Chain A
Amino acid sequence: MIRVVALNKAIAAGLAGAAAMELFSVLSTAAGLRTVDMVAELGGLDFHGMPLLAHVGGVVVHLAIGICWAVFYAFFFWGRFHLRPIFQGLLFALLPATLAIVVVYPELALMRVHQPMLTLDVHRFFAPLGWATVASLLVDHALFGAALGLIYRRPVGYAVGRKPAPPRARRSGTSAPKRNPNASGFMFATGVECSYPTIDHGTWRRDEMESTRHYEFWQDDFRLAREIGITHIRYGPPLHLIFEAPGRYNWEYIDPQMAELEEFGPEPIIDLCHFGVPAWLGNLQNPDIGKALQEYAAAFAERFPWVRFYTPVNEMYVCARMSALDGLWNEQLHDEGAYGRAAWNLADASIRMSDALLERRPDAILINGESSEFYQPCCPDPEIEKIAKAANERRFLPLDLIFAHKLSPDMHELLYAQGISTADIEKRERRKVPRRSILGVDYYEWNERLIDREGHARALGELFGWYVIASQYWQRYRRPMMHTETNKMDAHGAARWLWRQWHNVQLLAKSGVPLVGFTWYSLTDQIDWSIGIAEAIGLVYPVGLFDLNRESRIVGLAYKHLIDLYKDHPDYSECKALKELMQ
């Protein structure tokens, strides 16, 4: 798979394009112009004496060819150039136009010659092509391309308010292995990518589970995870589809999957809020999201009392930054104050959800996953150092709030400016953090950044590595830790990245940090990963253990190799840190 294709849209675009071509032919003929009528050309081949049948046959073939080109456009071409969709369509149309001129039209002429074989030369082959014919074919195809470009847009996601089809019903009779009985073994985890922010100013919902067809293949996805040896799976039920209104839940989007996970595993780490909120809650600037999500967490824990592992809010810093500072998701603002408000609201939601979960499941284990960022100033310029310092303080803000760490004066000031009282902030700083709280630290090759001379953050690659960056988080919060996300966009280098991350994990564990798990994220390839799903392009990135056909990638085999090698090793078959939390 290269791109996700919205087949219905592609078919509609192909039909419309072919119809536009034919309409042009009919109108120009009526106006007395000599143009190529592809329907007549195609229909006139073998239905001599049957004009109606010839016309119908011609129409059918013409429309079918239009659909084929549209699907071809959608799979290979769409989104490749940063042009308006109509211009992408026009550019693409050069391809079918060229083939029509150079191959198809002259061949169609040959097919009307009433003798079985000919001896050709170049002049004879191209004899049917006059300037008028070429011009007509070019205009025809330009119309086709324009229609294609206008109609085929945003192949992934859906309009806010619309609901995708519910997950496929659960098939019984699976012979897959049962749940892993070892509750205190090291967690060899993966996750199903489940982001659901809105883009285009709250009008378009990205839903990665829908784009990767998890709602269709969810049972296969869990089976594949078990086959690799995955013990735990990070799993985010679609909050925006389930939580319809206060007190109203649509559980059909999650019931079948939860039944399967309960019976067969892997053990789910339920991710209750992943980069978005239901449309009725607006966006992250809404101070009421904490209370609303507290209600949702309570309802979830009551419906699925067997679930023990939760991530109340995933990557709060990333979510707040992308929504309120980078202007890409949800409220789409570029405002430091809005970042502070979003971070506060998300941390508030996380704390309230944790409390609600612990009320219903006092032994629940809370894995608070956050992206491990680090900003390095490029030079001893006080301005650059100030920018780096601010970025480094900003990355800790949401975790400081949930782990009761004293805020820096600047972050305190930022929240105060948003109308959050000193008393409220101090209340957070005095909070008793639940004992079974794990700090999840995600790491990707762009998480270490350099603040350049212009004050812009640029990815450094793996400069210090997860060991060093995760150590900073350990020093700050002193909580049991887990490597909760990593992957590599280059599928060919992914096995190398996996093992190197694993060695970071081993080193940190050996240094005395209580480490409970490791995660390759995600189970399948992801869509629009490099652009932070900020546009609905549909590009597939090979970061998964499996591709979107659900076939193994090299890293899938490498992860199985790794798990097989370590799962029975005494250090991992019983993880001391996890065992302590489970008690």
Chain B
Amino acid sequence: MIRSFLDAHGYDPGPSQRPLLSGAISGLLATLPAIGILVAFGSLKVEAAILGMSPLATLALGWAAMAIAGAAYARFFGRAANAVRGGWLFGMSFGFGLWAAGAVLLLPILNGGRTPADAAAAGVALSLIVWGLATGILVPFVHRPLHESLERASKNADVGPSAAAAKDESIRKQRRSTTN
């Protein structure tokens, strides 16, 4: 459904953009304030206990997960994620979605129903929303220096004269494969 909300508006990242890399970097950076919140609310210890890991290992796992989540965010929201005006909102929505689907739903199912409560639960919610907010704010700025130049990207054969004979859908597929 979300895709249909976005589709037909050319939201796909352009061929000169690197959404996965910029999303992953943004996701990693955005984890810093989220960790602060997790520590302040005592959520980190509780999550570590639920997962049966040390807090440090929990952090490392969380960091990797957030890099992947950041990449998924930037790829999924595409050009919308690159908007300085709206990026914060998409990021926060994505963070909220991660909380609802991951922390509230998936985590208890995977861990025999064990879930954080009290301040620890508030910390988890807040940290993911802040992570999303920070990722949303960062992506528009991180992705710019990662751009391929117009000069170089325009040399790509796919955008050259052969495009006249291509089917719309194959152009689309070609672009996807070169983008990622």
Contacts and interface: CB of A to CB of B under 8 A. Distances in A.
Instruction: Decide if A and B are genuine partners.
Output: yes
Given A71-B89, A557-B153, A103 B104 contact: yes
Interface in A533-583: 539-542, 547-549, 551-554, 556-558, 560-562, 564-565
Given A117-B116, A557-B16, A495 B159 contact: yes
A1 B104 contact: no
A542 B175 CA distance: 16
Interface stretch (B26-34, B65-73, B107-115): B107-115
B26 to A, nearest CB: 15
A475 B121 CA distance: 76
Interface of B: 5-6, 8-12, 14-17, 42, 45-46, 49-50, 79-80, 82-86, 89-90, 92-93, 100, 104, 108, 112-122, 125, 140, 147, 150-151, 153-156, 158-161, 163-169, 171-172, 175
11 contacts: A2-B6, A111-B121, A490-B8, A492-B168, A492-B171, A495-B158, A495-B163, A496-B164, A498-B163, A556-B150, A557-B156
Given A551-B79, A561-B159, A110 B115 contact: yes
Contacts of B155: 561
Contacts, number: 176
A551 B80 contact: no
A112 B49 CA distance: 20
Contacts of A228: 150
Residue among A46, A551, A553 with the most chain B CB within 10 A? Answer: A551
A26 interface: no
Nearest to B16: A552
Contact of B104 (A7, A107, A525): A107
A80 to B, nearest CB: 7
Interface in A476-524: 490-493, 495-496, 498-500, 502-503
A496 B166 contact: yes
Contacts of B156: 557, 561
A553 B10 contact: yes
A496 B46 contact: no
Interface residues of A, number: 61
Contacts of B80: 1-2, 75
Contacts of A525: 10
B120 A116 contact: yes
Contact of A112 (B15, B118, B153): B118
Contacts of A496: 163-168, 171
A513 B113 CA distance: 77
A493 B108 CA distance: 45
Interface stretch (A82-90, A118-126, A238-246): A118-126
Contacts of B92: 68
A157 to B, nearest CB: 18
Nearest to B79: A547
B9 A542 contact: yes
A540 B46 CA distance: 45
B150 A561 contact: no
A4 to B, nearest CB: 9
A452 B102 CA distance: 54
Contacts of A549: 79, 82-84, 140
Interface of A: 1-2, 5, 7, 45-46, 68, 71-72, 75-77, 80, 99, 103, 107, 110-121, 227-228, 490-493, 495-496, 498-500, 502-503, 525, 539-542, 547-549, 551-554, 556-558, 560-562, 564-565
A500 B115 contact: no
Contact of B154 (A76, A111, A557): A557
B124 to A, nearest CB: 9
Contacts of A119: 112-115
Contact of A542 (B10, B100, B120, B153): B10
Contacts of B90: 75
A442 to B, nearest CB: 20
Contacts of B104: 103, 107
B111 to A, nearest CB: 9
B168 A115 contact: no
Given A1-B9, A113-B118, 6 more contacts: A2-B11, A118-B117, A525-B10, A540-B9, A549-B79, A560-B151
B121 to A, nearest CB: 5
A490 B168 contact: yes
A556 B165 CA distance: 18
Contacts of A564: 154
B14 A554 contact: yes
Nearest to B92: A68
A522 B158 CA distance: 21
Contact of A75 (B89, B122, B158): B89
Contacts of A120: 108, 113-115
A491 B10 contact: yes
B126 to A, nearest CB: 10
A562 B162 CA distance: 11
A71 B92 CA distance: 11
